[in-house]
Amino acid sequence: MAETMVKPCVTGLIPMAHAADLQRAVDFYKLLGMEVRGSRRNPSGELQWVHLACDQADLMFARDAEPVMAG
């Protein structure tokens, strides 16, 4: 009996960006209708990682130690 090989395939990806101030990023994307789906805070309560989503749109942010310079 021959086995049918099913090729694995990627069905979705979530982009990740880095930001110095995650709370500011969360506040901005909430204005666009996104909500927090998951997060992690350090012992002092600062966001270190956050997953935002709205319908089929997902975005993750990780805290960067230094400001991110556009360009």
Residue 29 maps to a domain = yes
Residue 50 maps to a domain = yes
pLDDT digits (tens, 9 = 90+) for 12-67: 899 999 998 899 999 999 999 999 999 999 999 999 999 999 999 999 999 987 76
Query: What is the tally of structural domains in the chain?
Result: 1
Written as six digits, the tokens of 61 are: 């942010």
The beta-strand segments (E) located in the chain are 16-19, 35-41, 47-54, 57-63
Tell me the whole-structure pTM to 2 decimals: 0.76
Written as six digits, the tokens of 60 are: 């993750």
Residue 33 structural domain: 16-63
Residue 1 maps to a domain = no
Q: What is the DSSP letter of 28?
A: H
